Structure 1
Amino acid sequence: MKYIYTSIALLLIVSCQKVQKDNTGDNELSILQKADIPYLKGESRKIFDAKPSEDFDNYQWFTNDHCFVTDHNGQLHWFGINNPYPPEGKELYRYHPYLGHLVSDAAEKNWKRLPFALDESKGTEYLGAPFVIWHEESERWVMVVETLLEGTRRLEVCWSQDLLDWERTNKAILPDKLWISSRDPHIMKGEDGKYWIHIVSTGNEGIKQSQVLRIRTKDFESFEDPETILGINDNNFATLIESPGLLERNGLWYLLFTYAHRRYTETIVVVSDDPNHFDYEKNTLTTLFGHAAKIFSYKGKSYISSCGPEDRHYFSHQSVSIAELGWLKQQ
């Protein structure tokens, strides 16, 4: 019996030492080792056709940057770039007359097309990437979208009571402080109670690199100066990254962006314990399949989307697809 008690005591001592060692090791883990790794579960499937209807016109259609938002009745909305390939005499990436709008009660099916959210087919013929969020303070929906103001691409705020009718402000956000290539907004409410608008740009603080910037606002009327939360020294003339998105999970922050000018469907994930700073060189966690990917949750599931392409030489798929999103916890 004495030997049994002695064996049990030794086992407990060894176990305690192992727990202490593991706990010490946890504290020494790098951010990359602590992070959960996102991945696509199963197939990425098309959820609707890019073209409004077969008889709408004689052109092939495409999609590009977009967003998902759930209304107060639980219906899921999609807003995004949705256009025909340019007819003769029009330019690719310049002929963007429509902002598409669809709704569904099931993320993977049942999508119904509504009238265009915005239509510039008889105006500037340009509408860029939109992002929509509920503005709690004014109890309205707010959209930030790239438009053509006085002949220059700028970010503009639009408002809606019902996600159907949108009122434009026709005012540019920080026109004297944002490079003209600033685009692809992502919006979330930050820890400071302000709304964080994330965009891609270059030239902030005089540095010509691919950047993700944050602009803080409370009312979408006045805006704080842009701050760089990620910079990549990969160019000297324009941003080469697109479509940023930010989320928090278990105390870490995950910044996603498309590296479209390297690979069209390459979405990079960089992780940080500080939402104000992301290190591309040291803390790139993984690469996901998808262009202009958006992560959203609906009816208890998380999804990741992809869209496009805005280029004819790609085969057959110019619409939007989604896959269920999983997270791999590292050992």
Structure 2
Amino acid sequence: MKRLYIILLVSIFFGMASCCSKKEKENTAKKTILERAEIPYLKGESRQIFDPKPSTYFDENKWFTNDHCFVTDKKGDLHWFGINNPFPPKGKDLYRYHPYLGHLTSDSATENWKRQPFAINEIKGTEYIGAPYVIWHEESNRWVMVVEQWREKRQLEVYWSDNLTNWEETKTAILPDKLWVGTRDPHIMKGDDGKYWIHVVATGNKGVKQSQVLRIRTKDFITFEDPETILGINDIEWATLIESPYLKEHNGLWYLFFTYAHRRYAETLVIVSDNPNHFDYEKNVVTTLFGHAAEIVNYKGKEYITSCGPEDAHYLNGHGVTMAELGWLKQE
């Protein structure tokens, strides 16, 4: 009799659990994607992690940083690559004079950053190197960088490295006949299709003049598929007004971070989607963060978000990269 009673209680318990689980699934299914989304936020102060100027003796100019990326090497050290330049001397234009790509390393993310020689130095070359993104290319066992160069015109190019220090240029434009001039600010990730997804900001894809985030797929960084528009904002007719996309999957949903720089320079919007191929600006903005050209960094068990710039002088801005811990707020 006692055994029968226990069996009955267990059956009731699992029956109730099954019922609750079913109801929870039904309630989740009824929620909109904005209601299901977690809200990213900056935990605490966003503090500068290094001085943008190589040293006080380097020159007399004030220096700045801008778009950048992070990568962890095979030994576990964190590397920063990014726009890192002096304000231009007389006779040079601010957005044309970009001769250096900075390189720093650290073992702690928020401190201990050590300056390395410039990853790319175009002071005696094109005098321009733009926003970079570096990722490990498993298939060739090398590091690959996609970066904006300025030869006859601005274009995206590929650089290769075995050690994150010496970079070999290809001087070959990515899809020169299919990308609008000014397509820039790459973010790269390995997609679930086994290809590398290069996300860039642009306009004019498929003849549509709007601010866009495009995806370009590749396996070898030699041949590239036609660009796909994953975000389009009907706000302009001549150039993209958004910058610096970063795509992240978090707990089953996709979050697209990008700067709406020409509305507010230090404004990062976050759009949520359950489909990494499409993001709806009109319906699914989950939050607005303070920051420019945000990158998300996972290092030693913590997740961080960064900001940088601007490229014009402000008294209280050291023009360095700032970093804060990133939190995710679950909605009730």
Same fold (TM over 0.5): yes
Unaligned runs of at least 5 residues, structure 1: 1-11
C-alpha distance in structure 1 between counterparts of 2:235 and 2:17, whole Å = 50
Instruction: Give the SS at the match of 1:26.
Output: helix
**Are residues 1:128 and 2:153 paired?**
no
Aligned CA-pair RMSD: 1.7
C-alpha distance in structure 1 between counterparts of 2:327 and 2:133, whole Å = 24
**Are residues 1:253 and 2:254 paired?**
yes
Unaligned runs of at least 5 residues, structure 2: 1-12
C-alpha distance in structure 2 between counterparts of 1:172 and 1:19, whole Å = 53
Structure 1 runs of 4+ aligned residues shifted over 4 Å read: 12-22
Q: Which residue of 2 aligns with 1:39?
A: 41
What is the 5 A alignment of 1:134-213?
A: 134-149=136-151, 151-213=152-214
* One-letter amino acid matched to 1:182: T
* TM-score (ref. length: structure 2): 0.94
Deviations 1:105-128 (A, max 9, x none): 010100000000000001110000
Q: Which residue of 2 aligns with 1:70?
A: 72
Equivalent residue for 1:58, pick from 42, 57, 60:
60
C-alpha distance in structure 2 between counterparts of 1:289 and 1:37, whole Å = 14
Instruction: Give the SS at the match of 2:282.
Output: helix
Q: Which residue of 2 aligns with 1:304?
A: 305
* One-letter amino acid matched to 2:195: K
Q: Residue 250 of structure 1: CA displacement?
A: 1.4
C-alpha distance in structure 1 between counterparts of 2:243 and 2:89, whole Å = 25
C-alpha distance in structure 1 between counterparts of 2:21 and 2:150, whole Å = 60
Residue identity (%): 70
* One-letter amino acid matched to 1:291: H
Instruction: Give the SS at the match of 1:86.
Output: coil
C-alpha distance in structure 2 between counterparts of 1:245 and 1:85, whole Å = 27
Q: Residue 251 of structure 1: CA displacement?
A: 1.3
C-alpha distance in structure 1 between counterparts of 2:239 and 2:245, whole Å = 16
| Residue correspondences, number | 321
C-alpha distance in structure 2 between counterparts of 1:15 and 1:138, whole Å = 50
Instruction: Give the SS at the match of 1:48.
Output: coil
Q: Residue 314 of structure 1: CA displacement?
A: 5.5
Are 1:309 and 1:317, in contact at CA under 8 Å, matched by a contact in 2?
A: no
C-alpha distance in structure 2 between counterparts of 1:77 and 1:277, whole Å = 31
Are 1:198 and 1:244, in contact at CA under 8 Å, matched by a contact in 2?
A: yes
**Are residues 1:270 and 2:271 paired?**
yes
* Aligned CA distance change for structure 1 residues 142 and 15 (closer, same or farther; 3 Å): closer
C-alpha distance in structure 1 between counterparts of 2:81 and 2:123, whole Å = 17
* TM-score (ref. length: structure 1): 0.94
